[in-house]
Amino acid sequence: HTSANMKRKADEDEDVAEAELAAAIDAAAKAPADEEIIGLGSGTAMLHFEVTGKCPTQYKSGRLKGEKSLVFLYLTIRGLGETPRLMLAECGASYTHLVSPMSEDQAVACEWRKRSPNGLMPLLSGIGVPRAQPLSQSGTIVRYLAQRYGMAGETELDGARADCLYQTVKDLTSKKSEIIGTADVPTEGAKGPALTAANICTMLDAMPDPSDDGAALNYGQIELLNLLMECEEASSGSVKALSPALEAFRAAGVARPRLATYLASPLRFPSIVPGYKYKDGPMKRAAFKL
Ligand SMILES: N[C@@H](CCC(=O)N[C@@H](CS)C(=O)NCC(=O)O)C(=O)O
């Protein structure tokens, strides 16, 4: 009895979560096309993208038989959504992307504050994850996507190496101000950007080659590409000054066909200034159309 009741309750909650998703999509469609999205802090509904990709042979389809389609929720900035977006672009995934400008009602935003296990974005549901109990934590989402889409190497050890790179890139990210030249004193040794970059290059030597379109990149490599793009945008030439080999990695990464298409699309949110406002000013909702 108890388990039948629990199943019924879970099914009901899943139906409620599906209705929340439908309401968010409906509100996005009905919101004024000329409404301004300033970054975070304006807008009456989420933005809605139906991304349709084609999975190249080196990756996996991500979705098993009988599973719901992927829904990925984040905010109208790059932030912690960017590595998942880059991964999904690279592996040709199809998904529903809903992004919050953080000023709409929770009733038209999938109730993400309540649904999220840690109360924060990003969130993922589908491909094995119930809508009513989505996954949160960007690192958790990245690793789940990597397992599903084949971006964690071929063996368990490859996967651990990819994770070591991912974590080392996180460490390098904490030194971004030194890379782009806004910090006064550079950190020396293995914690500093120069040696961390050199160590990352050694890790990359044993990994798939980003200049090979047919290679399956891993999630550590995508995290690295994300950081290098941010550094280059903040200060042109800064990646080459850090490491010519990392500059070659960045250039090869952004030239990969599916990544290049993504980077030129409205899914690639503008960069922001402090306060989470778009650097080049507000965008119209209508500009965010695939
Ligand atoms: N450790 C978490 C941090 C998540 C986080 O800080 N999310 C922010 C956006 S980047 C958020 O949801 N902010 C909403 C709020 O502060 O109300 C992760 O990696 O996902």
Predicted confidence at residue 47, as pLDDT, reads 98
Pocket test for ligand 1, best of 77, 98, 120, 272 (most atoms within 8 A of CB): 120
SS (H, E, C) the chain: CHHHHHHHHHHHHHHHHHHHHHHHHHHHHHCCCCCEECECCCCCCCEEEEECCCCCCCCCCCCCCCCCCCEEEEECCCHHHHHHHHHHHHCCCCEEEEEECCCCCHHHCCCHHHHCCCCCCCEEEECCECCCCCEECHHHHHHHHHHHHCCCCCCHHHHHHHHHHHHHHHHHHCCHHHHCCCCCCCCCHHHCHHHHHHHHHHHHHCCCCCCCCCCCCCHHHHHHHHHHHHHHHHCCCHHHHHCHHHHHHHHHHHCCHHHHHHHCCCCCCCCEECCCEECCCCEEHHHCCC
How many angstroms separate the alpha carbon of residue 122 from the centre of ligand 1? Answer: 7
Q: Is 276 in the pocket of ligand 1 (CB under 6 A)?
A: no
C-beta separation of 48 from 98 below 8 A: yes
Predicted confidence at residue 24, as pLDDT, reads 98
Closest residue by Cα to atom 16, ligand 1, is: 120
Distance CA 82, CA 60 (A): 20
Atom number of ligand 1 nearest to Cα 80: 10
Predicted confidence at residue 201, as pLDDT, reads 98
Q: Is 138 in the pocket of ligand 1 (CB under 6 A)?
A: yes
Closest residue by Cα to atom 15, ligand 1, is: 120
Predicted confidence at residue 184, as pLDDT, reads 86
pLDDT tens-digit profile of 248-264? Answer: 999 999 999 999 999 99
Predicted confidence at residue 136, as pLDDT, reads 98
Per-10-residue mean pLDDT for the chain, 290 residues long? Answer: 91 98 98 98 98 97 97 98 99 98 98 98 98 98 98 98 98 97 92 97 98 98 99 98 98 98 98 97 97
Domains annotated for the chain, with CATH where assigned, are 2-148+264-287 (3.40.30.10), 154-207+218-255 (no CATH)
Q: Is 120 in the pocket of ligand 1 (CB under 6 A)?
A: yes
Predicted confidence at residue 160, as pLDDT, reads 98
Closest residue by Cα to atom 1, ligand 1, is: 137
Closest residue by Cα to atom 6, ligand 1, is: 120
Q: Is 103 in the pocket of ligand 1 (CB under 6 A)?
A: no
